[in-house]
Chains A and B, each alone.
Chain A
Amino acid sequence: MRAAAISPARFLPALFGLFCLFCAVAVVEGLLRAGLLNRFIVPLPTEVAGSFGRLFGEEHLLARFLTTVQETFYAMAILALIGVPVGTLLYQVPVLRKATETWISALASAPIVLMYPLFLVIFGRSAATIIVMGVIAGLPPLILKTIEGLSGTRQSLINVGRSFRLTRAQMLTKIMLPAALPTIFVGLRLGLIFALINIVGVEFLINFGGLGQLINDLAERYDMPGMYATIVFVILVSVLFFFVTERLERWLRRMA
């Protein structure tokens, strides 16, 4: 069993994925060098990779990253504090759920980033605008997944709770929420990604804050390798957040 767990075959999908990514980058590099793609619009991937050192040194990428992480962290905390209770409330009040579920689903696919002028007027050119935009973008998937998770609680588990005469609050906290936790975390992860996209997007649009502002600055200076490198960095941050929430989910499930 143990030998099978550390078998190289376990890493094969990840290695194959990396190989495919490497091949795609190599193809782009080849097309650019052959002159089939415009190097003024798409920089060479090797130049993009080479600009990372400069970004950390001259453009303070780490400090920008920490600013974005901080904004995302606040957005995520607010998301969890609002999204899970709202999802739970909508689950428990069917009339409210039926009245709002379609609207929330529609909101999940709406280009919420376009609402930024409204919040710019309310909160000014500040981190508050960015965080609120992140929260609004992340709420719909979290609310919908909370409802889905609670609705999907196995009847046998609910019956166990009923047989032990649990109160409504106990049923919710001791059985339904722990049972729904994996689905809620899918919502939280989706919400986090939506929030991050919007946070970086609004940082870009209002030229304030962390990585989004850096992308804006680099674009205005026409520093294409630096700009693409920052975009790659944002993608890596997104992957990191996804990984962290996955670990958090496992930890919370153990604690529940």
Chain B
Amino acid sequence: MSQASGSGTPMSDRKHVLSADNVSKKFDTAEGPVVAVDNISFDVRPGEFLSVIGPSGCGKSTLFNIIGGLTPDHDGTVTVGNEVVRGPHPSIGMVFQEESTFPWRTVIDNVCFPLEIAHVPKAERLDKARHFINLVGLNGFENRHPSELSGGMRQRVAIARTLVSQPKILLMDEPFAALDEQTRLLLGDKVLQIQQELKQTTLLITHNITEAVQLSDRILVMTYRPGKLKRMVDIDLPRPRTSDVVSSPAFGAYVARIWGDLREEASRGMQDSERAR
């Protein structure tokens, strides 16, 4: 089980597949500068499932964009292996919160997309795409368009499309946020199964405590604005894990502990948004 880690790690430490070192981001708004992410440092180990949790508006998505290389102008460094992330990195595969499948492509064509860009021969890319479609449980839907699928299925297409490029790190920003609770639990099972099968290093951004505890080896709890690292919690639940784990007393204890950390932050966020009205 991974240990809590609150400080930066030297770039040469090969035990970590990804490191964030003193990452900060400030936005200039009409009301003045807003610090979205403040001096956050953490490491992700190979094969680990790390979740970042925090109340709405704490800078989780900003952190996601920084790690994914979509927000280059920030302070601090993000490194993958020994390379500093200065833009989208080939080792990081991203799954977005918003609907991101290409509506004009079928499921298999969506999943083939990164392989097409990489000029992988057609037969090989179809084989790979079918493998990952099967992995996310969408076999039989290869020739459907996203408009013919449910929200959960579309997110699975997006996950398969990211996985097919075989990234070292799977970075997901609240991929199940728009789904109902039952679908979310079942998709959690699917993600766990994939993560265990591929030994996929995964970094999940979420605001859902049960989802974070169900899936993670460690959970990084963020404060409400400015988004700082409040606590790193090791989740010592047995693996392989399924959604059945949610009924265990240990699961409940972790949820209660993280909610204890988050309650104050969420209240501050709520007061802030009420004041803004």
| A and B found bound together | yes
Asked whether B88 lies within 8 Å of A164 as measured between CB atoms, the reply is: yes
In B87-107, the 8 Å CB interface with A consists of 87-88, 90, 92-94, 96-100, 102-105
Asked whether B94 lies within 8 Å of A163 as measured between CB atoms, the reply is: yes
Asked whether B88 lies within 8 Å of A157 as measured between CB atoms, the reply is: no
Asked whether B93 lies within 8 Å of A156 as measured between CB atoms, the reply is: no
Name A166's closest neighbour in chain B (CB-CB).
B117
* Partner pick for B104 among A160, A163, A170, A253, CB 8 A cutoff: A253
**Interface status of A149 (Cβ within 8 A of chain B):** no
**Interface status of B114 (Cβ within 8 A of chain A):** yes
| Alpha-carbon distance between A175 and B68 when the two chains are bound, in angstroms | 19
B162 partner residues in chain A, CB cutoff 8 A: 163
| Alpha-carbon distance between A162 and B171 when the two chains are bound, in angstroms | 14
Asked whether B96 lies within 8 Å of A160 as measured between CB atoms, the reply is: yes
Chain A proximity of B119: nearest CB distance (Å): 11
**Chain B window 77-90, contacts with chain A (Cβ cutoff 8 Å), 1 for yes, 0 for no:** 00000000001101
**Interface status of A174 (Cβ within 8 A of chain B):** yes
Asked whether B117 lies within 8 Å of A157 as measured between CB atoms, the reply is: no
Asked whether A178 lies within 8 Å of B70 as measured between CB atoms, the reply is: no
| Alpha-carbon distance between A217 and B93 when the two chains are bound, in angstroms | 67
| Alpha-carbon distance between A254 and B114 when the two chains are bound, in angstroms | 19
**Chain B window 133-149, contacts with chain A (Cβ cutoff 8 Å), 1 for yes, 0 for no:** 00000000000000000
Name A254's closest neighbour in chain B (CB-CB).
B104
**Interface status of A181 (Cβ within 8 A of chain B):** yes
Name A155's closest neighbour in chain B (CB-CB).
B98
**Chain A window 227-256, contacts with chain B (Cβ cutoff 8 Å), 1 for yes, 0 for no:** 000000000000000000000000001101
6 further A-B contacts with Cβ under 8 Å, apart from A160-B94, A163-B88, are A159-B100, A163-B93, A163-B162, A165-B88, A179-B104, A253-B104
Interface CB pairs A-B, < 8 A, 16 = A154-B100, A156-B98, A156-B99, A156-B100, A157-B102, A159-B94, A159-B96, A160-B96, A160-B102, A160-B161, A162-B70, A164-B88, A165-B90, A174-B117, A179-B103, A179-B104
